[in-house]
Amino acid sequence: MVTGLAVSLAIDACAAAASLACSHPGLKKRILLLISLSFGIFQSGMTFLGIFTASSFMHLIQQWDHWIAFLLLAVTGSKMIREGLLYREEGACRDADPPSPWKVLSLSVATSLDALAVGLTLGFLSRAFLLPVLLIGLVTLGLSFLSGLAGKFLATFIERYAEMAGGLVLWAVGIRILLTHLL
């Protein structure tokens, strides 16, 4: 159960890592590993925070987490689409520039809000929290790194449209989060 949960929580981070790597094909593996580490830490941290605060804030978090995640992903995705359009017009190559720390941080938060809700649920179901917290973080780290490598590979095929494709993926993830919680 915990492994399946960890994989399902990691999917959003995987999509974000792939879109970042796709829009920055010159991204070094070391930077990609740091990005994946950020995703893993936030997934673990939010799960732990959810478990820790289960009884106090569950009703408040569930009401707004999907909107916050959607807005963060939509804003970041829109910026990437805009940068992709400017890239096509200017023809300038920015592939070697790593994503800004703000972009990585906002994506880490946005993709880990579901983990907060899961942590709240786990807090009510069980007292054992170490295994789920560690497993969720490690699975997210590993899968987002592999997704980032796949994104780098994909970027060589869609070069000029990579930034826009990454932005569209983030929009899709945001819409999926929103629809999952609203329906």
Q: Is 17 exposed, middle or buried (0-12, 13-18, 19+ CB in 10 A)?
A: buried
Of the CA atoms within 13 Å of residue 58, those in its CB half-sphere come to 11
Amino acid at 87: Y
**Which range (83-87, 109-113, 138-142) has the least confidence?**
83-87
Which domains, from first to last, does the chain contain?
Answer: 2-182 (1.20.1250)
Interval 102-117 mean pLDDT:
88
Kindly compute the dihedral angle of the four CA atoms of residues 106, 110, 111, 116, in this order, to the nearest 10 degrees.
Answer: 120
pTM: 0.73
Q: What is the pLDDT of residues 48-107, one digit of tens each?
A: 998 888 756 666 666 777 787 787 778 877 877 877 777 544 444 445 578 889 989 999
Task: Give the CA distances from residue 95 to residues 23, 28, 161, in Å, rounded to whole numbers and listed in that order.
Answer: 7, 11, 12
